[in-house]
Copies of this chain bind each other. A is one copy, B any other.
Amino acid sequence: MVKVGILAIGSELLEGSIVDTNSAWLGSKLTKAGFNVDDVRLIPDDREKIVTTMKEALEKYDIVLTTGGLGPTFDDITAEAMAEATGVELEMCEEARQHMIKRLQKYGVTIKESHERQALLPKGCLIFPNVSGTAMGFAMEQNGNVIASMPGVPYEMYNMFDNHVLPFLLERHSLKERISIDVRIGGLPESDIDDVVIDMNLPEEVECIINVAKGECLVKFRGFDKAQIEKCAEHVAKAFPKNFVGYGDDGLASVLIRLLKEKKMTISVAESCTGVMIGKELTEISGSSEVFMGGIISYSNEAKERLLRVPHNIMVLYGAVSVETAKAMAVGVANQLRTQCSIAVTGIAGPGGGTEEKPVGTICLAYSVNNEVTTKKYEYMGDRDAIRTRAMKTALREMIDLLK
């Protein structure tokens, strides 16, 4: 078992100005590769704290990865901290310096003394190229363990990790790749899924984690025996035929896009309160433009009537938030964008806008498939973000169900 500790460096992380997404990204990649992520810590830009934590981690873990603190500003001190933690001096690294100069010149940034700091690295370190940024990564060895530092800017770090750091780590440790299968179950309380998993009496070598995220349960099976893991995943999927969403890393949007491609159908969306979360999810899938033709965000009643051709008397009779209006929106957008399928959402995401009759959380959905329209109405709990997200997930899941 090869243990990894992740240190995310930056006071802004502890003070909440920025959410640390790097650690989750790294954790996911490392776990898949067969490593064990034992620890993730956020550390402030405090030299003593960074040095102490680096030293502790280097004693406990085979691999220590850090992100952040490689920039040119006064609070970027990862290199000097690593030098102190590993008992060496800082040294000007000519390769890093040349890379930095070339890059800054390319973008017309005046080179200052602060930039030079970025090339002062622990003496004797290994360096990792940064194709998307100025600061190179670097690594030191100590008592057979290794500590590697990468930039905090996500896409700079992704690139460096995928192309240089991970290969470097895999050279040092030959691991059996961990098989991981996620089973996504939507619309059920986690206790229902927990019961099924407990009855499976999983052997010790199979790990199972159940997560709940905004209306969806993620059941993650993990181990080193592919056939065994596949069997476990299938068992759970079959236990919930109506609520099974999909396997693997496929989110709902992925599944829907793939289904539409298989059936050679196109889709459009008409959104109001979900404020285009459905459209965003779909466009996030590379290649979605084959099947997702576009949509209309109809925030105002006027927009619904004019762009989506929702009949005025329907708006007056039932209101903007009603299954009748949702149905007209679905028909309207499918016509406007000439698609076989469409999804329409209208509702009250809050915090304001609720009434006795239609409280905050009221969501009306309509699905059109080849001109046949199905409507649904729900009342969700939670804050604005939770309501919008649940509506979006429900919309995608129910569209998937209708297409199957």
- Residues of A at under 8 Å CB distance from B? 6, 10-21, 23-29, 31, 37-45, 49, 71-75, 107, 109, 112, 114-115, 132, 153-155, 158, 182, 189-191, 193-195, 197-198, 209-213, 218, 220, 269, 272-273, 275-277, 279-280, 282-284, 286-289, 292-300, 302-303, 306-307, 336-338, 350-352, 381-386
- Knowing A17-B28, A209-B45, say if A337 contacts B190 (CB, 8 Å): no
* Contact of A284 with B280 in the complex, beta carbons under 8 Å: no
A-B contact pairs, 23 of them (CB 8 A): A6-B14, A13-B27, A14-B31, A16-B26, A17-B24, A18-B24, A23-B42, A38-B49, A40-B41, A45-B209, A115-B191, A132-B381, A132-B382, A158-B383, A269-B297, A276-B297, A283-B299, A284-B385, A286-B384, A294-B297, A294-B298, A302-B337, A307-B307
- Selected from B26, B75, B276, the residue in CB contact (under 8 A) with A209 is B75
* A17 x B182 contact (CB < 8 A): yes
Shortest Cβ gap from A216 to chain B (Å):
11
Contact A20 B17 (CB under 8 A): no
Q: How far is the CA of A94 from the CA of B197 in the complex (A)?
A: 28
Q: Is the CB of B307 within 8 A of A302?
A: no
Write the nearest CB–CB distance from A154 to chain B, whole angstroms.
8
Evaluate contact between A13 and B40: CB separation under 8 angstroms.
yes
Q: Across the interface, do A280 and B283 meet the contact criterion of CB distance under 8 Å?
A: no
Whether B280 contacts A275 by the Cβ 8 Å rule is yes
B155 touches A15 (CB 8 A): no
Q: Find chain B residues with CB under 8 A from A306 CB.
A: 336-338
Q: Is the CB of B16 within 8 A of A24?
A: yes
Taking a contact as CB atoms under 8 Å apart, the answer to whether B15 and A37 are in contact is yes
Contact of A191 among B73, B288, B352 (CB under 8 A): B73
Contact of B191 with A114 in the complex, beta carbons under 8 Å: yes
In angstroms, Cα B277 to Cα A393, docked, is 17
Q: Is the CB of A307 within 8 A of B337?
A: yes
CA of A218 to CA of B12 in the docked complex: distance in angstroms?
A: 10
The answer for the CA separation of A302 and B37 in the assembled complex, in Å, is 48
A109-B286 Cα distance, complex, nearest whole Å: 38
